[in-house]
Copies of this chain bind each other. A is one copy, B any other.
Amino acid sequence: MNRSSSDPGGPIRQANRELILGAAEKVFARAGFNGATMAAIAEAAGLPKANLHYYFGNKQELYREVLAGTLHDWLVPMDGITPEADPRSAIEQYVRAKMAMSAARPDASRVFANELLHGAPVLGDLVHGELRTMVKRKAAVIDGWIAAGRMTAVDSIHLFFTIWAATQTYADFDVQVRAVLGRSRLTARDHQRAADHVVSMILRGCGL
C-alpha cells in the first residue's frame, strides 16, 4: 500500500511542504502576491508547477501559509515581556530579537509588509485576532510598569508600532538603507550598529 497518499502528515509531504514554503517566501518577497508566479515558485523549489497545487490547492492558500508562519514566529519573542521582568532588559531583548529576525529572514518580513500594505486581504482575521489579543496583553504589562514608576509614561500600544516599524525597516526597506549608507550589502557590523542605534533610541524614548 502506498502510505504517503493516505497520510497527510507523512515525512514526504512534510518535507515537500517546507521546500515549497521556503521557495514561496523568497518569490513572494521579491515580487509581491500578484508579481509572483506559480511557475517561478516551482522553479525555486525545483519541482514541477502541478505539485504546488497538489500540496496547497491554490496560490492564495500557499501565500496564506507563508504569512501565518511568519506571524507566529513574530509573536514568540513577546513572551519575555512580563510584569516581573526588568523593563529595560525586557524591552532591549525584544528589540534585539526583532532586529535579529530582520537580519536573518528579511523575506518573511517583506511578505508580511506587502500583505499589510495592501490592506491585509488574506491575513485580516489573524491580525484582528491573535495579534491584537497579544498586543493588548503586553501593552497592559507595560502600563503596569509605568504605573509603578519603573519607566516614563508612553503610549504602550503605539510603542509596539514604533518598535515594529524601527526594526522591520531594516528588512523591508533594506534597499533604501543600503543606498543611503552607500553599501552594496549590509555586513554583520552594519547590523550591529543598526541594532545598537534602535535599542538606544527606544530605551531613551522609554526613559530607560
Contact = CB atoms under 8 A, between A and B. Distances in A.
B165 A127 contact: no
Contacts of A127: 175-176, 179-180
Contact of A116 (B136, B157, B173): B173
Interface string A85-128: 00000000000000000000000001001101111100010011
Q: Identify which of A30, A110, A204 gathers the most chain B CB atoms within 10 Å of its CB.
A: A204
Nearest to A37: B34
Given A193-B158, A202-B205, A176 B110 contact: no
A205 B198 CA distance: 9
Nearest to A181: B157
Nearest to A116: B173
Given A128-B179, A162-B166, A180-B132, A154 B113 contact: no
Q: Identify which of A113, A132, A161 gathers the most chain B CB atoms within 10 Å of its CB.
A: A161
A154 B197 contact: yes
Nearest to A32: B32
Q: Identify which of A110, A157, A164, A166 gathers the most chain B CB atoms within 10 Å of its CB.
A: A166
B35 A33 contact: yes
A135 to B, nearest CB: 5
A194 B33 contact: no
Nearest to A135: B180
